Amino acid sequence: MQFRTFTGNPVKSRTHCVVVGVHDKNNLSSSAERLDKTSRGYIKKVLARGDMSGAVGQTLLLQDVRGVQAPRVLLVGLGKARDLDTPRFLSILNSASQALAKTQTKQALICLLEIDVTDRSLAWTSQRLVERFLESTYRFTEMKGKPPKKPNSLTRVDLLVSPDDTEDVKDSIRLGEAVASGVTAHKNISNLPGNICTPTFMADAAKNLAKEYASITTKVLSEADMTKLGMGAFMAVSQGSDQPGKMIIMEHQGSAKADRPFVLVGKGITFDTGGISLKSNAGMADMIFDMCGAASVLGTMTTIAELNLPINVVGVIAAAENMPSGGATRPGDIVTSMSGQTIEILNTDAEGRLVLCDALTYIEKYNPVTVIDIATLTGAAIVALGSHASALFSNDDALARDMLDAGTATHDRAWRLPIWEDYQTALNSALADMQNVGGREASSIVAACFIARFTRKYRWAHLDIAATSFKSGGAKGATSRPVGLLTQYLIDRAREYGA
């Protein structure tokens, strides 16, 4: 799908469909007014029949409107102008893209950037439009024996803008396309089943990224490498599986080699049975998504490489499979992490924090500016926040604010929870330096407190995305969150550093 700017008269556009907005009570947007005037009041006459009220997300397709060059005009409901906020605008974009997909339209002129969205700029609305339209075309059909017929998809989208705004909108198009590339990369790997998406498969995907982008280099640590480094916590998870674990390191060099990098660390459990602390059958099939944290790192690295962001970024994926076997870790086993701290493993189904703690120790060598880990870590995050917000924890207030701001900017929101020292007592062990679980109370917080013990040498944040990273049931699939938040955070840092 190609995006272009258009500064002409929508009445005279020879596109296949012109998309214009209609507010509540059938108040027309400026472009809709132009089309109505050309058609001698036809649009208002149609609306007066009551088939559309202008409510948010309503659509009405008109054919062969008098005086309009395009054979189709799509009316899209905008609701009340004063109520047009971010969620409503995103809903409008979804409705428009879905309505176009039901037609044979290959080219469209979108006249929705002329509307005002509360507290949002033209740069923001145009980027979101590009992202939403591209994401609306995504279908995961790789595992179908006979892929279903794809719905109609646009090949070209023109965005109506004023001449003065053309260059700014072109920049937003570039950003939107790059983010969409990362979203697609995330979904393509997250939606694969565990028998295909193994730790080795993930390592190969990271190597392929380095082949595609000159700014990326990838190296992979084997289990032998990790054993030499003393990653006993990681190996405690991986040792039960026939699939060898991998520590995958992708480095994007966008500035001087000596510049300190920003680091992302993703939990990459490619399938999680719970190990000896076996999960129940209900919902276990969804554990193909227990590597969504790793996929978000891969997706974000794709976007920043596409943009060639002028900062250094390191993306680390701790990839392993959590399986029961004769060689698997037993509840009660004590292991030594790379940090030298010992861990009593009371529950082998609390494995994500074990692979993360060694990865978070490993990245100390980079002297990072900030570190963000991303993990489908706890079911308690689902109970606490539902699917609207990822749970955010941090040892640095400024970093937390920057991430919350990035989430608000992209509508990929997070909510900060505490990691007070009071919660650390839940991890006390009589036999080791710590145990890997506490009780039922505040289990998302306690899990974050466990990770915090391995992050005291740098500014760190943890995103628990258990509730936001995928959907179950008939709509089963990865959501791509928090690729939007992470990429916006890094784009903001690149701007902050004067690039």
* Domains of the chain: residue spans and CATH: 2-159 (3.40.220.10), 180-498 (3.40.630.10)
The identity of residue 481, as a single letter, is R
Looking from the CA of 335 toward its CB, the CA atoms found within 13 Å total 27
CA–CA distance, 354 with 425 (Å, rounded to integer): 18
Q: What is the DSSP letter of 2?
A: E
Q: List the one residue out of 388, 416, 418 whose CA is nearest residue 403.
A: 416
CA–CA distance, 96 with 60 (Å, rounded to integer): 10
Q: Which residue has the tokens 């009445």?
A: 11
CB contact set of 133 (below 8 Å; sequence gap of 6+): 1, 93, 97, 154, 157
Q: List the one residue out of 386, 356, 388 whose CA is nearest residue 374.
A: 356
Q: Which ranges constitute the DSSP H helices of 76-152?
A: 86-101, 122-136
Q: What is the per-residue pLDDT for 102?
A: 92
Query: How many CB atoms neighbour CB 165 within 10 A?
Result: 17
Query: How many CB atoms neighbour CB 386 within 10 A?
Result: 10
Phi, psi of 460 (to 5 degrees): -140, 145
Q: List the one residue out of 430, 485, 450 whose CA is nearest residue 378.
A: 450
Whether omega for the bond prior to residue 87 falls within 30 degrees of 0, making it cis, is no
CB-count burial class (<10 Å; 0-12, 13-18, 19+) for 102: exposed
CA–CA distance, 266 with 376 (Å, rounded to integer): 9
CA–CA distance, 499 with 469 (Å, rounded to integer): 31
- Residue 416 is among the residues annotated as catalytic for this protein: no
Query: How many CB atoms neighbour CB 388 within 10 A?
Result: 9
Q: Is the dihedral of CA 53, 54, 55, 57 positive or negative?
A: positive
Between helices 166-190 and 292-307, what is the axis angle to 10°? 150
CA–CA distance, 110 with 16 (Å, rounded to integer): 11
Q: What is the per-residue pLDDT for 148?
A: 78
Residues making up the binding site: 267, 272, 290, 349, 351
CA–CA distance, 461 with 60 (Å, rounded to integer): 45
In tens, the pLDDT along 282-340 reads 889 999 999 999 999 999 999 999 999 999 999 999 999 999 999 999 999 999 999 99
CA–CA distance, 82 with 85 (Å, rounded to integer): 8
Which residues does the chain have with pLDDT short of 50?
Answer: 499
Residues making up the binding site for Mn(2+): 267, 272, 290, 349, 351
- Residue 279 is among the residues annotated as catalytic for this protein: yes
Bridge-based pairing state of the strands 107-110 and 216-221: unpaired
> Catalytic residue among 353, 413, 481, 493, which?
353
Contact 77, 57 (CB under 8 A): yes
Q: Is the dihedral of CA 44, 49, 54, 59 positive or negative?
A: negative
Q: What is the per-residue pLDDT for 498?
A: 57
> Catalytic residue among 139, 156, 174, 279, which?
279
CB contact set of 401 (below 8 Å; sequence gap of 6+): none
